[in-house]
Chains A and B, each alone.
Chain A
Amino acid sequence: MLAKRIIPCLDVAGGRVVKGINFLSLKDAGDPVEQAYIYFCEGADEIVFLDITASTERRKTILEVAKNTAERIFIPFTVGGGIKTLEDIRLLLKYGADKISINTSAVENPSLVKEAAEEFGSQCIVVAIDAKRENDSWQVYVYGGRKPAGLDAIEWAKKVADLGAGEILLTSIDKDGTKDGYDLELTKRISLSVDIPIIASGGAGTPHHFYEVFKKTKASAALAASIFHYGEYSIKEIKRYLKERNIEVRLD
């Protein structure tokens, strides 16, 4: 049985950690590699770095982060943000990232998912989907949640799975930053629609929220940022809470 994964996410801009509240206001809170090392020691199962202001000159800083992380932190980590080409992916993997995550560029160029999966293997290609509820469905948004993509989230999830994505990082825009729990319905629907693992994201505020998302959906992992970042709960506390309630987690 696979353990359910707890994944802290670090939003990085210009080599520094920030966390967006509803994707907009940003607060600076530290060095990404140091922060990642703390999470590694606390028992994180993986780490996600999201380079939220990826531009050409910033690309170098995230490669440095990847390199330093790979040398110090012996758990897997994913880098996302601003990845547009096979070459971008090749570089990040070369610098030590285990997986890369693509969002807007997958929507604009779906063949990138296919080509990347063929070139590097599905296991390192994560497609991030930012979804927002509209009436009875969820719509995909791109450009950091600012622009509707004109795609239904469930259909898009199926499509990227067919194209060869290894995992889906599913963020609820409605829930992100609210701390009132994951979007259980969205996560449930998507995780039942595809065979690849789903990482639930957006809304974690208490240990119970993690319990809910694992109990009520087929999510394989739960990602969170601010709950860990501002020290409200440690990863260990959350894992103990889950273990006591018979959710399979890795606790050494």
Chain B
Amino acid sequence: MIAVVDYGLGNLRSVSKALEVNNVKVKVTDNPSDISDAKAIVLPGVGAFFKGMENLRNLNLLEIIIKNVEKGKPFLGICLGLQLLFTRSFEHKVSKGMDIFKGEVVKFLKAPKIPHIGWNRLNLKKNSKVFEGIPSNSYFYFVHSYYVKPKEDVVLATTFCGEEFPSAVAKDNIFGVQFHPEKSGKWGLKFLSNFVKLVNAG
């Protein structure tokens, strides 16, 4: 079972359906014991950073997620779910994140329009199983005003929006993407199916 974490922020229906296409059991949940039982954790989310952290804490999900990720359970953070992995964010006010990845979440300064909404290309920087069969320069769907600035070498792909920013990061079992694979048509579905394959391969 893949646990899709429901912490009251954003669209879980499309994420879970897009994963289910791959014949895998998906549970949308805010129950900490499901996080422990799951084969993998998907943390989606759209919304404000501090709210995301607050909700995870109030639902007693924060520690259990961190514990499981550190134990090596496959994890995919989408959009806000990616940003929450980082040390801290400057959205609205400075807020502490999970600090699983060292780095910060900052606002676009050179973007022609903010939020960065729409279809943009990925430049693949490193080979990774999650991008298998997906050509570099494919379009994915983005909706965000902030992006991650890692202090470690974790960038899998970048995207250009006034400046080049990391659109996919990974370290061992941990994956994070700024785009929404569940909203990115064909290539997004391919990406999620690659993630499921990786989970099944253990």
Contact = CB atoms under 8 A, between A and B. Distances in A.
> Main secondary structure on chain A at its contact with chain B?
loop
A123 B183 contact: no
Contact of A121 (B46, B116, B161): B46
Contacts of A2: 116-120, 161
Given A2-B118, A250-B119, A252-B187, 13 more contacts: A2-B117, A2-B120, A70-B17, A72-B17, A98-B46, A98-B183, A118-B48, A121-B46, A123-B144, A124-B143, A166-B117, A197-B115, A252-B185
A117 B55 CA distance: 17
Instruction: Please give me the 3 A-B residue pairs with the lowest Cβ-Cβ distance, nearest first.
Output: A96-B13, A70-B13, A3-B119
B182 interface: yes
Interface of B: 10-11, 13-14, 17-18, 46-48, 113-121, 138-139, 141, 143-145, 160-161, 180, 182-189
Interface of A: 1-3, 5, 40, 43, 45, 67, 70-72, 74-76, 93, 95-98, 118, 120-124, 166-167, 195-197, 220-221, 250, 252
Contacts of B189: 74
A63 to B, nearest CB: 12
Residue with the greatest number of chain A CB neighbours at <10 A, chosen from B116, B183, B184, B186: B183
Contacts, number: 95
A51 B155 CA distance: 42
Given A1-B120, A250-B119, A120 B47 contact: yes
Given A1-B121, A1-B160, A76-B143, A196 B114 contact: yes
A196 B115 contact: yes
9 contacts: A3-B139, A45-B118, A75-B185, A96-B11, A121-B46, A121-B48, A124-B143, A196-B114, A220-B113
A252 B47 CA distance: 29
Contacts of B182: 74
A193 B120 CA distance: 24
Residue with the greatest number of chain B CB neighbours at <10 A, chosen from A96, A196, A220: A96
Nearest to B18: A74
A5 B160 CA distance: 17
Contact of A95 (B13, B116, B119, B121): B13
A97 B183 CA distance: 11
A131 B105 CA distance: 37
A123 B143 contact: yes
Contacts of B14: 70-71, 74, 96
Given A3-B139, A76-B183, A252-B186, A93 B120 contact: no
A71 B143 contact: no
A71 B189 CA distance: 13
A178 to B, nearest CB: 27
Contacts of A45: 118-119
B114 A76 contact: no
Contacts of B141: 75-76
B10 A93 contact: yes
A74 B118 contact: no
Nearest to B45: A121
Contacts of A97: 11
Contacts of B145: 122-123
